[in-house]
């Protein structure tokens, strides 16, 4: 009985790790997509677009939550004097998270490594 509980605990830990890795990948992809979206709206060159995308991804790693990404994008719109609302950016962020999550789930349908196990099989 003890082995069964240990196996179950190990499986749940592996599932949690897999879910967290996928969440991180989806959020990072969402941030990159937000940078691409902003760059298109701002009419940036490909080099400027790439720099903005990297900056948005890095900004999200500084503090918990996505407020730093929103501030980064808002700042870029303000710097270029292009009107946009906080609400528009937040709506795009929500939309892009759905897109990014679907893409990550499609790309990684199986466990990401040998330390991930399926739960309930």
Q: In which region does residue 65 sit, left (phi positive, over 0), alpha (psi from -120 to 50) or beta (all else)?
A: left
Instruction: Give per-residue pLDDT as tens, 8-34.
Output: 787 788 788 888 889 999 999 999 999
Domain boundary assignment for the chain: 13-107
Share of the chain above pLDDT 70, in %: 88
Virtual torsion, Cα 28, 32, 34, 37, nearest 10 deg = -160
Instruction: Give per-residue pLDDT as tens, 40-50.
Output: 999 999 999 99
pTM value?
0.81
Range 73-79 average pLDDT: 95
Range 93-106 average pLDDT: 95
Domain 13-107 belongs in CATH node 1.10.790.20: yes
Kindly state the greatest CA–CA separation across the chain: 66
């Amino acid at each position: 009985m003890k082995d069964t509980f240990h196996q179950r605990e190990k499986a749940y830990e592996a599932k949690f790790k897999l879910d967290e890795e996928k969440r991180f990948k989806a959020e990072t992809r969402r941030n990159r997509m937000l940078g691409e979206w902003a760059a298109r709206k701002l009419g940036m060159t490909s080099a400027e677009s790439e720099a903005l995308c990297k900056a948005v991804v890095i900004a999200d790693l500084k503090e918990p939550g996505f407020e730093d990404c929103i501030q980064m994008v808002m700042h870029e719109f303000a710097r270029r004097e292009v009107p946009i609302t906080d609400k528009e950016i937040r709506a795009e962020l929500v939309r892009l998270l759905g897109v990014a999550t679907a893409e990550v789930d499609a790309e990684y349908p199986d466990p990401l490594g040998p330390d991930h196990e399926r739960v309930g099989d």
